[in-house]
Amino acid sequence: MASPGTLSRADRRHKWSVKLSPFGFISPYFLIFGIFGLFPLLYTAFVSLQKRNLLDADAATFIGFGNYERLLLHDPYFWNAMGNTVSLWLMTTIPQILFALGIAHLLNRRLRGRTLFRMGMILPNITSVAAVTIIFAQLFGRDFGLVNWVLSWFGAGEVDWQAGTASSHTAIAAMVVWRWTGYHALIFLASMQAIPSTMYEAATLDGANGWQQFWRITVPLLRPQIIFSTVIATTGNMRLLAEPLLFNPGTAAATGGSDRQFQTAALYLYEQGFTKYDFGYSSAIALVLAVVTMLVAGLSYLVTRRIQTD
């Protein structure tokens, strides 16, 4: 046996294994993420400074901020896409949060079949974006679409949803709101259930009606969840791509409509990168979009933070 103070070979091996194994346990994550997640992310910045075409890889040249100059100063399509992105962000995020609050409020009562209702709310969220968009494109069809058929009862049935800016944005917003409202409603519901009923009893005694209680008690107490949901919805809705791509499939798919009526910034990134193979330019769009998304997410954080807490 080893003398006191020194370790046997087996003990030493054990000590090393205890010391090193945590790194062994976390290394698969960091290895794979580092190579296929982090590296491409950082490399985007470098590619965005190049004139680089997939079909002519050897001719990649460093052009500094040339892509950015072209993008920000000389490209009306980019600004069109950015405008559509912001418009769709507003038309999706605000209704999502408001509807979700209302639905959560309804779900927060004594209910028979609670599980059924809750599962029903989340059903849209589990269906794939491709399937959803194809289904909605059919519903919003011009000639045989269900939406136009219903509208025709009110004497307004001939909307060509894909053709106009406002109409196409409405249709795309409808599918995004449909898909995500239930998800946010469940998050709100979870916190609503933690609000002690004594708060409502006290308010009732003070003469507050249901509407006042909702806006003065429920909504302020849900502030952290509203902030969370708004920021999550913002980062998701600022990079809509599948919806506009599949809303009007065919030759005009990547341009988001014949006249770019509903081309989002993410779709423009796709068009430049993967139909025109202009990788440098596409990377520049990716970076600008990421920066704008962070700014808009910050803005929505600041706005939702101002919800009154008495």
Partner 1 sequence: MTTVLTPPTTTPGRTRRIVRRVTSPWTYAGLIAILAGSAFPVYWSLVVSSQTNEAVGSVPPVLLPGGHLFENIARVFDETDFALALGNSLIVAGTITVSVVLFSTLAGFAFAKMRFRGRTALLLVVVATQAIPTELGVVPLYMMMADLGWAGQLQAVIVPGLVTAFGVFYMRQYFEHALPLELLEAGRMDGCGPLRLFWHVALPTARPAAAVLGLFTFMQAWNDFFWPLVVLVPENPTVQTALSTLASGYTTDYTLVLTAATIGTIPVLVVFLLFGRQIVGGIMQGALKG
Choose between 110 and 306: whose C-beta lies nearer to partner 1. Answer: 110
119 binds partner 1 (CB under 8 A): yes
Kindly indicate which of the ranges 4-12, 14-22, 159-167, 255-263 contains the residues binding partner 1, using the contact rule CB under 8 A.
Answer: 14-22
Choose between 3 and 134: whose C-beta lies nearer to partner 1. Answer: 134
Choose between 128 and 258: whose C-beta lies nearer to partner 1. Answer: 128
Choose between 47 and 91: whose C-beta lies nearer to partner 1. Answer: 47
240 binds partner 1 (CB under 8 A): no
Q: For partner 1, which residue of 6, 23, 154, 155 counts as binding (CB under 8 A)?
A: 23
CB of 261 to partner 1, least distance (A): 18
2 binds partner 1 (CB under 8 A): no
* Vertex 38 angle, CA 34 and 44, to 5°: 140
288 binds partner 1 (CB under 8 A): no
Choose between 3 and 194: whose C-beta lies nearer to partner 1. Answer: 194
3-state secondary structure the chain: CCCCCCCCHHHHHHHHHHHHHHHHHHHHHHHHHHHHHHHHHHHHHHHCCEECEHHHHHHCEECCCHHHHHHHHHCHHHHHHHHHHHHHHHHHHHHHHHHHHHHHHHHCCCCCCHHHHHHHHHHHHHCCHHHHHHHHHHHCCCCCCHHHHHHHCCCCCCCCCCCCHHHHHHHHHHHHHHHHHHHHHHHHHHHHCCCCHHHHHHHHHCCCCHHHHHHHHHHHHCHHHHHHHHHHHHHHHCCCCHHHHHHCCCCCCCCCCCCCCCCCHHHHHHHHHHHCCEHHHHHHHHHHHHHHHHHHHHHHHHHHHCCCCC
Instruction: List the interface residues with partner 1, window 27-86 (CB under 8 A).
Output: 28-30, 32-33, 36-41, 43-44, 47, 54
269 binds partner 1 (CB under 8 A): yes
117 binds partner 1 (CB under 8 A): yes
Instruction: List the interface residues with partner 1, window 95-114 (CB under 8 A).
Output: 103, 106-107, 109-111
Torsional class of 8: left (φ above 0), alpha (ψ -120 to 50), beta (otherwise): beta
130 binds partner 1 (CB under 8 A): yes
303 binds partner 1 (CB under 8 A): no
177 binds partner 1 (CB under 8 A): no
Choose between 8 and 138: whose C-beta lies nearer to partner 1. Answer: 138
201 binds partner 1 (CB under 8 A): yes
220 binds partner 1 (CB under 8 A): no
